[in-house]
Structure 1
Amino acid sequence: MAADAPDKLLARAERDIRSGKSAGVNELARAVAQNPGWVRGHIKLADAYWEAGHGLGAFRFFEDALKAERRNAALWNAYIAALLESGHPAEAADAASDAFLIFNAPILQLMVASYASQAGQLDRADRLFRQFEMPQADHSISEALVRHALRMGDYVKAAAILDDLLRARREDIAIWALAQIIWRLTDDPRLEFLIGRDALVKFFSLDLDSEDLSALAGLLRAKHVSRAAPLGQSVRGGTQTRGDLFEGAGSSILTLKRALANALEAYRRTLPEPRADHPLLKYADRPFSILHGWSVRLTEGGHHVSHLHPVGIVSSACYICLPSALGQRRQGVLQLGVPPEDLGLSLPALSEIHPKIGHVALFPSFLHHGTTPFSEGERLSVAFDAVPVR
Structure 2
Amino acid sequence: MQQNLSLPQALQYAMQQINGKQFPQAQDLLTQILKQVPNHPDARHLLGVTYMMQDKFKQAQNEIKKSLQGNPKFAMAHYNMGNVLIGLGEPIKAITSFKKALKIQPDYLQAHRRLCDALYASEQFDEAEKSYRDLMGKMPKDVSLVVNLADMLDTQGKWDAAEELYQKAIDMAPSEAVLHTKLANTLNQAGKSKEAEKVIKKALKLKPDFHPAHMAHSYIMLSQSKAKEGLKAADKALELFPGETTAVAWKLTALDQLGGGEEYDRYMDFDTFVKPEWVDVPEGFKDIDAFNEALVKHVENHPKLFEFEHYEVTRYGKEVKDIYSEPMGPVKQLKAAMEKHVAEYIANLPDDPDNQFVATAPKKWRIKSWANILSGPGRQIAHIHGEAWMSGCYYVRLPDIMKSDDNPNNAGFIEFGQINDEFPNLTTDRLRFIQPKEGLVALFPSYLYHSTVPTESTQPRIAIAFDVVPVK
TM-score relative to the length of structure 1 = 0.82
Match 2:333 to one of 239, 250, 255: 255
Does structure 2 retain, via aligned residues, the 8 Å contact 1:317–1:360?
Answer: yes
Q: What is the aligned partner in structure 2 of residue 372 from structure 1? A: 453
Name the structure 1 match of 2:272: 199
Q: 1:9 to 1:269 in 2, by over 3 A?
A: closer
Which structure ranks higher in relative contact order (CA pairs < 8 Å, sequence separation ≥ 6)?
A: 1
Residue 232 of structure 2 corresponds to residue 160 of structure 1: yes
Change (3 A) 1:16 1:355: same
SS in 1 for 2:356: coil
Among 218, 234, 239, the alignment partner of 2:318 is 239
Provide the rounded CA distance (Å) in 2 between the counterparts of 1:348 and 1:70: 51
| CA distance 1:40–1:23, change in 2 (3 Å) | closer
Distance 1:32 1:87 in 2: 31
| 1:234-280 deviations in Å (ceiling 9; x for gaps) | 3232233234x3355545112222332343344345532x2333233
- Pick from 71, 81, 84 the counterpart of residue 11 of structure 1: 84
1:89 touches 1:119 (CA, 8 Å); kept in 2? yes
Partner of 1:330: 410
Deviates more, 1:94-103 or 1:23-32: 23-32
Between the aligned residues of both structures, percent identity stands at 19
SS in 2 for 1:383: strand
Match of 1:73 in 2: 143
CA distance 1:197–1:316, shift in 2 (3 Å): closer
- Counterpart of 2:386 in structure 1 is 310
**Pairing 1:44-193 to 2, within 5 Å after superposition:** 44-48=118-122, 50=123, 58-107=128-177, 108-129=179-200, 131-132=202-203, 134=205, 136-186=208-258, 187-193=260-266
CA shift for structure 1 position 148 = 0.6
Contact map agreement 2:95 2:115 (CA 8 A) in 1: no
**Matched residue of 1:280: which SS?**
helix
Question: Runs of 5+ in structure 2 lacking a partner?
Answer: 1-73, 282-287
Correspondent of 1:264 among 342, 350, 362: 342
| Aligned partners of 2:396 and 2:439 also within 8 Å | yes
| Alignment counterpart, residue 377 of structure 2, candidates 301, 311, 335 | 301
CA contact (8 A) 1:240 1:296 kept: yes
Please give the alpha-carbon distance, in whole angstroms, between the structure 2 residues aligned to 1:384 and 1:236: 18
Q: Which residue of 2 aligns with 1:320?
A: 396
The higher radius of gyration belongs to: 2
Deviates more, 1:338-347 or 1:62-71: 338-347
Pairwise CA distance, 1:45: 1.5
Instruction: Give secondary structure in 2 for the equivalent of 1:67.
Output: helix
The answer on whether the counterparts of 2:415 and 2:433 sit within 8 Å (CA) in structure 1 is yes
| Residue 291 (1) aligns with residue 367 (2) | yes
How big is the shift at 1:218? 0.6
